[in-house]
Amino acid sequence: MDRLFHALADTTRRDILRRCVRGELSVSRLAEAYPMSFAAVQKHVAVLERAGLVTKQRSGREQLVRTDPDAVGRARQALDELESAWRGRVDRMARLLADEPRSDEPGSDEPRTSTPRAFDPDEKNTTEGSER
């Protein structure tokens, strides 16, 4: 997740993604379009690749870059969930599922003495992840 959003947090990288929407492009082809060195573009592509947003496929001596729709879909969905939660949709659903009449309210009391909630790794996602 971190890697996914990080990859998207750069104008050049988003532009590369958009460029590859219409079809595979070799890295050098891509590099021609930006005011930076080939190596720099190469690195950007590597970031996108580690994030699972694109895949490279060798064709002759060229390396074609192609986007992976599903990866973007995953990111979009994550935001979707967040947004839903916000709007309370999930809240009602959760209450239904747990038939908890009323409780978890952060209302005001809840003397935080007990469990400060030790930080939760991250979402319940189980997609992948390791390395960096």
Residues 51, 1: contact at Cβ < 8 Å?
Answer: no
Shorter beta-carbon distance to DNA: residue 29 or 95: 29
The one among 9, 93, 94, 98 contacting DNA by CB under 7 A: 9
Using CB under 7 A as the binding rule, whether residue 63 contacts DNA is answered as yes
Using CB under 8 A as the binding rule, whether residue 128 contacts a second copy is answered as no
Span near DNA by CB under 7 A; candidates 15-23, 38-46, 86-94, 95-103: 38-46
- Measured CA distances, 105 to 16, 95, 100, 110 (Å): 44, 12, 11, 9
Residues 27, 39: contact at Cβ < 8 Å?
Answer: no
First to last CA, the chain: 12
How deeply is 48 buried, as exposed, middle or buried, from its count of CB atoms within 10 A (0-12, 13-18, 19+)? buried
Footprint on residues 86-125 left by a second copy (CB under 8 A): 86-87, 91, 94, 97-98, 104-107, 112, 116-123
Tally Cβ neighbours within 10 Å of residue 69: 9
x/- letters, 36..65, toward a second copy (CB under 8 A): ------------------------------
- Which stretches of the chain bind DNA, using CB under 7 A? 6, 9-10, 12, 26-29, 31, 35-40, 42-44, 47, 56, 60-64, 132
